[in-house]
Structure 1
């Protein structure tokens, strides 16, 4: 029975990853929704990893009132090996994704150091105002380019990269909005959230993956960054920046607003209502999801 419950939990979580992107209400509470996505993923992993040992334990206990797992050690080892294979696959995928991202970011940092505007050149007014506020961006780099571009390169030596065209088209306040957006990404470590989603996405067989789920995660972190920028300069400058940079490209391994649905971001920015109740409910559901496979396993170990 416990093994069947774990199987159902894993299947339900997998199904949820395909159904959850259809819920448009996620943008109302982006932080809690990201937590829900992570909870669904963690619950699926726990259920999958614990399924084999619990199933084997249930098999050797059948018909025995007082179970003795030590007497069936070889069978239990089979379950542990199966779970180990699942964990190993996640570890390998995590290592590959992490290595690729770190390499890409290091190479891009070296590239922008070569392309950056001469340090002796006076920075745009928006940059000077930002620094005057006492909140300088993480190693800001300004590129001389006619195309409006803005993104951040996460890591131990994080960078915020903007083109000088942004200051020309958005003005000082608009540039501050862009800088605040990128710094929010870095301060809240949105790169780690997306890296977690990417590892799970690549670890799951192609036929079972949810590409829309990965895209939804990217949208939610952009909304969180928009919120951070709004707290600095207000809604109007952030909205103008979203429109200007809606199609702006950014390199692999970096984080930028280009590519995330601009309409959804603008709608959320314009919505000033509070969704405290939804946030509390979604957070509670997330906690329950993670606890479920652990509770079922504890029940199995209790021999009931």
Structure 2
């Protein structure tokens, strides 16, 4: 029963649960807790499916007279568990390599074509007239890129809000958060995954960066910057200021809204999906496994 139960938990956490939560607005009220919740869901799904595979392997070793349908079912569960675990490590390598290569190439182009900002050495100004702003993260030597169109469209305080937003991305390594979601996303086969965690994480890191910028420049200046940059495209591997404009403006427009309950709910869901399957199924199975292997 344990392999089937863990397998079902993994499927629920990989598909219907994220699809349902993606329709909710409340995770946007507490971005950091929301990020943790989405990571917990994806990680718990991988752990559940991996546990299902291990439980199935033990069943094959200990069951003396398995039925045909039992064998078929357990082989399917074992196959999914092995596939998810193998894809996780393959995805970790592939996401890291592809992202590093894209950022290195784009950083070279930015340094070649961009004009250094006199007072801000890490900032590069591109000649494009379309308002654009983004950062290219790199430990110890990141770049913040703004177009001439951005400089022309924004007043001094709004430009400062944009720069603070991008520095927050760099300082708190939001790129690593998104890379982790990319790995967890690719770990599941297409029929067993939804794009919701990846899309939601992209919105949540923008809200977190907005919080940092708002503390420096205030809400009105940040709102003007968001409107000016709304819809601007960000190169692959970079983090930009043009996405999720509506959600960001709504949050700025209601700065005093209570968020403690959203934080509590997100943290509670994170704890439940990680702890309950472990305590209810994994620990008893591990005790049984030790007894069988020890006996």
TM range (shorter): 0.7 to 0.9
Aligned ranges 1:109-120 → 2 under 5 Å = 109-117=107-115, 119=116
Residue from 282, 287, 291 that aligns with 1:302: 287
Q: TM-score by structure 2 length? A: 0.85
Show the counterpart of 1:16: 17
Distance in structure 1 (CA, Å) of the matches to 2:249 and 2:207: 9
Aligned ranges 1:1-304 → 2 under 5 Å = 1-14=1-14, 15-58=16-59, 60-61=61-62, 83-117=81-115, 119=116, 123=118, 139-156=122-139, 157-258=141-242, 260-272=243-255, 273-295=257-279, 296-303=281-288
The two structures, once aligned, show a CA RMSD in angstroms of 2.4
**Cα deviation 1:176-221 (Å, max 9, x = unaligned):** 0000000111112111111122222233222333234322221111
Distance in structure 2 (CA, Å) of the matches to 1:302 and 1:208: 30
Is the 2:26–2:262 contact (alpha carbons within 8 Å) kept by the matching residues of 1? no
Where 1:251 maps in the other structure, the secondary structure is coil
Where 1:274 maps in the other structure, the secondary structure is coil
Q: TM-score by structure 1 length? A: 0.82
TM-fit CA distance, 1:269: 1.3
TM-fit CA distance, 1:59: 5.6
Distance in structure 2 (CA, Å) of the matches to 1:145 and 1:52: 53
Q: Which runs of 5+ in 1 are unaligned?
A: 64-78, 129-135
Number of residue pairs matched by the alignment: 274
TM-fit CA distance, 1:82: 7.2
Q: Which runs of 5+ in 2 are unaligned?
A: 65-76, 290-295
Moved more, 159-168 or 104-113: 159-168
Distance in structure 2 (CA, Å) of the matches to 1:177 and 1:205: 40
TM-fit CA distance, 1:28: 0.9
Is the 1:105–1:254 contact (alpha carbons within 8 Å) kept by the matching residues of 2? yes
Distance in structure 1 (CA, Å) of the matches to 2:148 and 2:135: 15
